[in-house]
C-alpha cells in the first residue's frame, strides 16, 4: 500500500526558466519504506514525513508506509537511480511531472541524478524529457544546472527575461537554523565522474526570489581539473541556501552524487521504549476462596453435583469461631440465589453416598450480599448426617434469602488418604403443600 498526497501549494516553489518565457515545474517525489521508517518515532509518522518533504519540494508525493515498496536494490546510489527510472517509465508515464526526486532512507550516503546536454539553448534538457516521451524519460534528478548571468551568479526572477539566466535552472534547498550558525558546510561531488559546476545562493526566506545573493561557487575542487567540485563555507543561522548544480559542458551526460555534510548538532536520541507492563499475578487455584467454583445462578442452577474432590486449597481467610473446620484446608463453591427462590424453601447440602477411599469430609457455609466482599454471615457447619456408619455430611439451611451469595466450603476432617474423594450435592427443598 502507498500513500499518495498532493503537497500544499505553498510548498511548490521550484520553477524552471527558459528564454522569453517561464514555466511551472511539477516535481514528483518518490520515497521508499526505509525513508518512512525513519519517522516512526514521531506521533504521526505519515504526517511528519509528508511535511518534511513538502518543506523541500513537491507537487506529487507518494509515501510508502509498508516495506513492500518496489525499490529492492541497495548496492549504491546509481543502481537505485536506474531502478527508479525503469519503474517510473514503465508504470508512471501518466503522472504529470517535470522531474522526479526520490527521498530514500537506505543510507546510500549521497544523492544522484541524470544530467543531459541538449539543444534549444536549454543546456540541461533532462527536465524536458517527460514532456516529450514520459515512458522513456531521464527526468530523474535531485539538482541541476544554472547558467549564471554577468552579475556574478545572482539569481533573480523579476519577470524580465533580459535580467534572468539564459537557461533554465534546478536547485536543492537547505535551511540552516539558528543552532547551526557558525558551523561549516561542505558540498561536493568528489565521488562522481564527469565535470560539474556549483553555484550557492542564500536568502532570508524561501520565497524571496528577488533577494537571493550569491554565496559562492566551485568548478574543480576535488584535486582534478575538468572534474567534480568541492566547496566549504560557513553557515549563517536562519537562512536558506540553494545549491545549483550543472554540467560544465552541455555535450556530456554524466551521473553525479551530491554530498552535503555539516558539523551541526546531532539529532536528539530516540526516546527509550517504554518498559513492558508488569505481568498480572497468577490466578488463584480453582476451588480457593479467591477463585471458587461458580455454580449457575438462581433456582435453575440446582440441583448441583460437583466433580470428585481429592485436593484441597489453603484454609479459608473468613473463619466462624463455632466451626470445627477453622484452620483446615477447603475446597470452595459459590452460588447466587437470585430473586426467584420460593418462600419457605430450604437448601439441602450433602455428600451422602459420594465419598470414596476413606474420605471423611465436613462442610461449612457463609453468605454475603456481594460476590467477593463481606461482611459474611456464618450459616452452618456439619460433618455427619448421612446415617450411622456412613461417612459424609448433610446440612439443611432452613432459610434461603433471595439475592444472596452463598460460599460453601468442603473440608477434610482429617488428612485425606491418597486417592480419596468426595462430591458435593445441594438442592432446594420446596415446602409441602397441604391440600
- pLDDT tens per residue across all 435 residues of the chain: 344 444 444 433 333 333 344 445 566 778 888 888 878 888 888 988 887 777 665 567 788 888 888 888 766 667 777 888 888 888 888 877 767 777 776 655 455 666 543 333 333 344 444 444 555 566 554 332 222 333 333 333 444 444 444 433 344 555 555 555 566 677 777 766 666 777 777 777 665 444 666 666 666 666 666 667 777 777 777 777 777 776 665 444 555 666 666 544 445 667 778 888 888 777 767 889 888 999 999 999 999 999 999 989 888 888 887 787 888 899 999 999 999 999 889 999 999 999 999 899 999 999 999 988 889 999 999 999 998 888 899 999 999 999 999 999 999 988 878 888 989 999 988 887 665
Provide CB contacts within 8 A for 43, sequence distance 6+: none
Burial of 147 (0-12, 13-18, 19+ CB in 10 A): buried
Residue reference for cell 561542505: 186
* Residue 66: per-residue pLDDT: 84
Terminal C-alpha separation, the chain: 80
pTM above 0.75, yes or no: no
Q: Label the pairing between strands 346-350 and 394-397.
A: antiparallel
> What are φ and ψ of residue 405, in 5° steps?
-95, 125
Numbered ranges of CATH 3.40.390.10 in the chain: 22-159
Which architecture does CATH list for 22-159? 3-Layer(aba) Sandwich (3.40)
Q: What is the DSSP letter of 138?
A: -
Numbered ranges of CATH 2.60.120.1050 in the chain: 293-429
C-alpha cell at position 91: 508504470
Q: Which residues pair with 374 in a beta bridge?
A: none
Q: What is the CATH number of domain 169-266?
A: 2.60.120
Task: Say whether domain 293-429 belongs to CATH 3.30.470.30.
Answer: no
Amino acid at each position: 500500500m502507498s500513500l499518495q498526497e498532493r503537497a500544499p501549494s505553498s510548498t511548490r516553489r521550484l520553477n524552471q526558466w527558459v528564454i522569453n518565457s517561464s514555466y511551472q515545474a511539477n516535481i514528483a517525489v518518490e520515497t521508499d519504506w526505509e525513508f518512512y521508517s525513519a519517522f516512526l518515532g514521531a506521533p504521526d509518522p505519515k504526517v511528519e514525513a509528508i511535511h518534511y518533504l513538502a518543506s523541500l519540494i513537491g507537487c506529487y508525493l507518494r509515501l510508502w508506509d509498508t516495506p513492500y515498496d518496489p525499490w529492492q536494490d541497495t548496492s549504491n546510489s546509481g543502481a537505485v537511480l536506474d531502478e527508479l527510472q525503469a519503474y517510473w517509465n514503465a508504470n508512471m508515464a501518466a503522472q504529470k511531472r517535470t522531474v522526479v526526486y526520490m527521498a530514500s532512507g537506505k543510507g546510500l550516503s549521497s544523492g544522484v541524478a541524470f544530467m543531459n546536454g541538449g539543444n534549444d539553448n536549454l543546456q540541461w534538457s533532462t527536465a524536458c524529457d517527460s514532456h516529450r516521451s514520459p515512458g522513456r524519460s531521464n527526468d530523474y534528478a535531485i539538482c541541476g544546472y544554472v547558467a549564471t548571468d554577468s552579475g556574478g551568479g545572482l539569481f533573480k526572477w523579476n519577470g524580465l527575461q533580459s535580467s534572468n539566466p539564459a537557461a533554465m535552472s534546478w536547485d536543492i534547498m537547505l535551511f540552516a537554523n539558528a543552532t547551526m550558525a557558525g558551523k561549516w558546510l561542505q558540498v561536493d561531488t568528489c565521488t562522481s565522474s564527469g565535470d560539474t559546476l556549483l553555484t550557492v545562493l542564500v536568502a532570508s526566506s524561501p520565497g524571496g526570489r528577488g533577494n537571493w545573493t550569491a554565496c559562492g561557487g566551485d568548478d574543480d575542487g576535488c584535486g582534478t581539473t575538468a572534474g567534480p567540485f568541492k566547496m566549504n563555507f560557513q553557515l549563517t543561522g536562519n537562512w536558506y541556501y540553494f545549491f545549483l548544480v550543472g554540467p560544465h559542458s552541455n555535450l556530456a551526460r554524466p551521473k553525479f552524487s551530491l554530498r552535503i555534510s555539516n558539523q551541526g548538532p546531532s539529532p536528539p536520541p530516540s526516546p527509550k521504549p517504554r518498559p513492558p507492563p508488569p505481568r498480572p499475578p497468577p490466578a488463584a487455584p480453582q476451588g480457593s476462596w479467591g477463585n471458587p467454583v461458580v455454580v449457575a445462578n438462581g433456582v435453575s442452577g440446582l440441583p448441583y453435583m460437583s466433580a470428585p474432590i481429592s485436593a484441597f486449597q489453603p484454609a479459608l481467610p473468613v473463619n466462624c469461631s463455632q466451626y470445627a473446620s477453622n484452620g483446615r484446608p477447603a475446597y470452595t463453591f459459590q452460588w447466587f440465589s437470585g430473586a426467584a427462590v420460593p418462600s419457605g424453601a430450604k437448601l439441602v447440602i450433602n455428600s451422602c453416598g459420594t465419598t470414596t477411599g476413606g474420605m471423611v469430609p465436613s462442610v461449612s457455609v457463609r453468605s454475603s450480599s456481594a460476590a467477593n466482599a463481606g461482611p459474611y454471615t456464618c450459616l452452618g457447619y456439619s460433618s455427619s448426617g448421612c446415617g450411622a456408619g456412613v461417612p459424609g455430611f448433610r446440612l439443611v439451611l432452613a432459610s434461603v434469602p433471595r439475592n444472596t451469595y452463598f460460599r460453601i466450603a468442603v473440608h477434610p476432617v482429617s488428612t485425606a488418604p491418597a486417592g480419596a474423594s468426595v462430591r458435593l450435592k445441594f438442592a432446594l427443598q420446596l415446602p409441602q403443600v397441604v391440600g
